[in-house]
Amino acid sequence: MDGDRSEYSDGYVVISGNKIVDVGAGKPPAYPGAQVIDGSGCLITPGLVNTHHHLYQWITRGLAADSTLFEWLTTLYPVWAGIDADAVHVAATGGLTWLAKTGCTTTTDHHYVVPRDAGDVFEAEINAASQVGLRFHPCRGSMDLGQSSGGLPPDHVVENLDDILTGTQAVIDRWHDPDPGSMLQIAVAPCSPFSVTESLLRESATLAREAGVRMHTHLAETLDEESFCKELFGCTPVEYMERVGWVGPDVWYAHAVHLDDAGIETMARTGTAAAHCPTSNARLGAGIARAVDLVNGGVTVGLGVDGAASNEACSLIEESRHALLFARAKGGPQAMTVRKALELGTVGGARVLGRDTEIGSIEVGKLADLAVWKLDTVAHAGITDPVAALVLGSTPPLKLLLVNGRIVIADGRVITVDEDVVASDVARAHRDLLGKA
């Protein structure tokens, strides 16, 4: 995924500290004292980048399995209202552990449910990311438009505007690390047009730009949302976002399913990016995003698994496959290649997050975020093209996952946390939360 899209049928990658220092074909030069990992039978790719998630939902999977988005939300909001810092830590640990096992080295999280007296839910998920070892871009989400004011969420799960702005600034001040090689960067993320006020959108944009952080929100996920925006604001969702200052190279939208040509042109013209979440969109019956039109129109596109309650698999490499399959279902077999699908999940995601000078490709000077996939097992042995094997085949086991030069997965097993303990904790937290609801 470098600028030349180099591929080596037999090659090497050399890492020193947290950086890639050499890449090439054939056998590497001698490095006295180096640790050598044999990748025979494997495919090495950049670590995958997840541009949209809701980690807290990991403990609410399987609910409202046959519902539309709005039905799903109204079913789950009362459950989510009971989360606290402990539940968020457990859920985030489970979700991040599984993301690692599907090749993810960098992930965002859009956390917008902040119940009163829940404790510090942002510290909880940030600590989980540190323990699992993934590069983390948590987004301080928010909702201030409850049902009594015409919004979708119940009043008891929304915050007031002043508390949101104060809380968002506090998260940025405490956690955001803008330095090169950063493992932790914050974004500002009001939830969606049907759960936040215009004042929150405008003031959060000002806050984010003064702090120098990125901006994220859901947009154009369903036709219901488009009807909501036209009825209340007299315009499409993208036109509304442009009106309130939510376009630009520091902004990315989750989903962007229902866009007209003018909306795509606006995103391209302003440098606004998109997180394509094909599995979640299909699970909720929201539709198929115009990912090919977005890419061809000059919009930066990455991939996202979305919240675990609308994508129980949460496999990031599966998102590459589903992006390809849905694109071809609409546009034929030439609509998206296997390499373009892998590109969306690597360098595409890195561009969405403004990190493409550091991650997303295997190049000298880039950070050592790498996935080493085993393609010599019965599921993949004999597939001619290893990229086709990865994208079109079942999810391969990982021989190795490196994040910032640190081993997170070795021989298919996460070594930073105990997977069995994590699974037990998740099951307990799921039971406790449903019991509380």
Please report which residue ranges of 234-337 form alpha helices under DSSP H.
Answer: 237-243, 261-270, 278-283, 291-296, 316-331
State both tokens at 168.
């968002």
Report the pLDDT averaged over residues 122-135. Answer: 98
Q: Please state, in angstroms and rounded to a whole number, the distance separating the CA atoms of residues 22 and 193.
A: 46
Q: What is the pLDDT of residue 293?
A: 98
**How many C-beta atoms lie closer than 10 Å to residue 32's C-beta?**
4
Q: What is the pLDDT of residue 254?
A: 98
Q: Is the pLDDT of residue 326 over 90?
A: yes
Report the pLDDT averaged over residues 313-333. Answer: 97
Write down how long the chain is.
437
**Nearest Cα to Cα of residue 8 among 398, 432, 362:** 362
Q: What is the pLDDT of residue 286?
A: 94
How would residue 334 be classed by pLDDT, with cut points 50, 70 and 90? very high
Say whether 20 sits in a helix, a strand or coil.
strand
Q: Please state, in angstroms and rounded to a whole number, the distance separating the CA atoms of residues 37 and 9.
A: 17
Q: Please state, in angstroms and rounded to a whole number, the distance separating the CA atoms of residues 324 and 318.
A: 10
Q: Please state, in angstroms and rounded to a whole number, the distance separating the CA atoms of residues 367 and 361.
A: 9
Sequence-distant (≥ 6) Cβ neighbours of residue 200 within 8 angstroms: 142, 144, 145, 161, 164, 190
Which tens digits make up the pLDDT trace of 188-232? 999 999 899 999 999 999 999 999 999 999 999 999 899 999 999
Beta bridge partners of 13: 23
High-pLDDT (> 90) share of the chain, %: 95
CB 66 within 8 A of CB 93: no
Q: What is the pLDDT of residue 305?
A: 98
Q: Which residue has tokens 């890419």?
A: 295
Which tens digits make up the pLDDT trace of 292-314? 999 999 999 999 999 999 999 99
**Average pLDDT across the chain, whole number:** 96
**Nearest Cα to Cα of residue 35 among 345, 341, 410, 295:** 410
Q: Is the pLDDT of residue 157 over 90?
A: no
Q: Please state, in angstroms and rounded to a whole number, the distance separating the CA atoms of residues 107 and 284.
A: 22
Q: Is the pLDDT of residue 116 over 90?
A: no
25-29, 85-89, 273-277, 357-361: segment of lowest average pLDDT = 25-29
153-161, Cβ contacts within 8 angstroms, sequence gap of 24 or more? 153/73, 153/77, 153/191, 153/195, 154/77, 154/78, 154/81, 156/81, 156/115, 157/77, 157/80, 157/81, 157/113, 157/115, 158/195, 159/114, 161/197, 161/199, 161/200, 161/203
CB 109 within 8 A of CB 431: no
How would residue 44 be classed by pLDDT, with cut points 50, 70 and 90? very high
Running DSSP on this structure, what letter comes out for residue 399? E
Q: Please state, in angstroms and rounded to a whole number, the distance separating the CA atoms of residues 37 and 368.
A: 14
Q: Is the pLDDT of residue 156 over 90?
A: no
Q: What is the pLDDT of residue 100?
A: 98
DSSP readout, 64-122? STT--HHHHHHHHHHHHTT--HHHHHHHHHHHHHHHHHTTEEEEEEEE----TT---HH
The Cβ-side half-sphere exposure at 35, using a 13 Å CA radius, reads: 6
Q: Which residue has tokens 């037999």?
A: 10
Q: What is the pLDDT of residue 192?
A: 95
Which tens digits make up the pLDDT trace of 230-249? 999 999 999 999 999 999 99
Q: Is the dihedral of CA 85, 90, 96, 102 positive or negative?
A: negative
Report the pLDDT averaged over residues 329-350. Answer: 98
Cα distances (angstroms) measured from residue 267 to each of 51, 130, 248, 375: 17, 33, 8, 38
Phi-psi region of 30 (alpha: psi -120 to 50; beta: other; left: phi over 0): beta
